[in-house]
Amino acid sequence: MTKVSSSIFADVPTVLLQPKELSRNVSRHTLPAVWMRSGTSKGLFLHRKDLPQSPSSWNQILLSAMGSVQGSTNQIDGMGGGTSTTSKVAVVARSTRPGVDVEYTFVQVAPDQAKVDMTGNCGNMLAGVGPFALDEGIVEAVPGDSEMDIRIFNTNTEQTIIETVQLTPDGRFREDGDYSLPGVQGTSSPIKTAFLNPAGSMTGRLFPTGATQETLTVQSRYTGSFAVRASLIDAANPFVLVDASSLPSVLQKLWPDKGNNVFLSTIEDIRRQGAVQMGLAKDLDAAGLVRGTPKIALLTSAGDDDADISLLSFSMGKPHPSLQLTGAVCIGAAMSIHGTIAWDLANDRQKDGTPRHGMAVEGHQIAAPIPWRIRHPAGVITAETVLGMGKNGTVHVDRVAVYRTARRLFEGNVFYRA
């Protein structure tokens, strides 16, 4: 028999006999979590009670959990997928606000920087908040009901959303159904997400500058000074909606190559100028520090009868693979308001001039909306807009509803280092 040298295992007894010494070197922590596909995004869903009281203390935890501590471009050492749509977090809690069931805070973790952004809402992640709250026992269904309205307060924008979810016989969220969401394979049950009074989510006004349409003068290191037609609108999230036909010819030629650095840099220049114009940043440098808001989308005519408008939106400096749900809300509102870029492009195809928006008078809906069809890179999404009229005759956006789906992918603990 060959004798094995004891020197090979010389350190083993020392390690095994001193577990307390070993534990002092371990920085791994656990956090109860659920990973969900929510709309066309994926992310972590967490209970508010499991995080530190102050949101400012969440940064290191979430950066580590998602793999963005060192600003890696692939998030290989965390849960994130290296894109803005797979690097998101929803923090959920039971609400104590009157008339509200659940409170939800959205956190965008940068996939390529050690930064988090809590300035805006994410409608795709919002779609999973109702199902998460239901299955986690934060809210409870009435026995025998087949669907449930869950009132959600988004703490980022201080807006209220009504989410209508389908129920199983035992009162849990029913995932299966026949609704097909562009950008997601298969079918699921529809989740109707209605944003109530979505105007002014960050700026306090639907049109922060007071104009439904204006000309932005932009300075770019690649294309010099140029002007574009845009609508600066804030509904569910602030957006810079640009008439793509007004872009400089060099950008229009680059458009097929959506990953071109010149193209992306110039789109970011437009977004920054829009941020300053909307009052969301004091100057262009400050606008560049917050990439999550405002968002930007390039709008074109649909070109066929399957949609009313076409667009390409951007997220964290990159083309979005589909469309932000808040983008559908914002654009659905813009398409219903005379004078916006979206109105011009959508209603240019309307031959009979029939209004597509619904109508509510003092909170009571008197006419149902006809869905707007918005084409994005992954398909077509619909938005149902209801305009409201108050006692003094002023018109406002009463609500915009869109449909999503969601699926619980796993539950357990996420590990992070701190």
Of 123, 157, 174, the residue that ends a domain is 174
Question: Among 32-36, 146-150, 196-200, 289-293, whose mean pLDDT is lowest?
Answer: 289-293
Residue 325 lies in a domain: yes
Residues 148 and 253 in one domain: no
Nearest to 40 by CA among 381, 400, 399: 381
Instruction: Classify 28 as helix, strand or coil.
Output: strand
- Structural domain span for residue 282: 214-393
Nearest to 315 by CA among 325, 306, 307: 325
Residue 190 lies in a domain: no
User: How many other CB atoms are there within 10 angstroms of residue 342's CB atom?
Assistant: 30
Q: Do residues 340 and 213 make contact, with C-beta atoms less than 8 angstroms apart?
A: yes
The predicted-structure confidence for 56-95, as pLDDT tens digits, reads as follows 999 999 999 999 987 667 899 999 999 999 999 999 999 9
Residue with tokens 């709008």: 299
Residues 323 and 257 in one domain: yes
Residues 114 and 230 in one domain: no
Instruction: Please provide residue 372's backbone torsions phi and psi, each rounded to the nearest 5 degrees.
Output: -80, 145
Residues 258 and 389 in one domain: yes
Distances 105 to 30, 65, 90 between C-alpha atoms, Å? 20, 17, 6
CA distance 337 to 212: 8
Instruction: Give residue 160's region: left, alpha or beta (phi > 0; psi -120 to 50).
Output: beta
Question: Among 144-153, 233-242, 246-255, 277-286, whose mean pLDDT is lowest?
Answer: 246-255
Residue 9 lies in a domain: no
Residues 121 and 229 in one domain: no
Q: Do residues 288 and 117 make contact, with C-beta atoms less than 8 angstroms apart?
A: no
Query: What CATH number does residue 352 fall under?
Result: 3.10.310.10
CA distance 122 to 61: 20
357 or 11: which carries more pLDDT confidence? 357
CA distance 64 to 52: 15
CA distance 281 to 287: 5
What pLDDT band is residue 393 in, cutting at 50, 70 and 90? confident
Query: What is the count of structural domains for the chain?
Result: 2
Residue 10 lies in a domain: no
Angle among Cα 172, 153, 90 to the nearest 5 degrees reads: 65
When the pLDDT of each residue in the chain is averaged and rounded to a whole number, the result is: 90
Q: Is the pLDDT of residue 186 over 60?
A: yes
Element spanning 388, H or E: strand 379-389
Kind of pairing between the strands at 28-38 and 379-389? unpaired
CA distance 278 to 254: 27
Average pLDDT estimate for 231-235: 97
Q: Which two tokens stand for residue 115?
A: 């930064």
What pLDDT band is residue 333 in, cutting at 50, 70 and 90? very high
What pLDDT band is residue 350 in, cutting at 50, 70 and 90? low
Q: What is the pTM of this model?
A: 0.83
Distances 18 to 12, 15, 25 between C-alpha atoms, Å? 10, 5, 12
Beta bridge partners, 379, equal 376
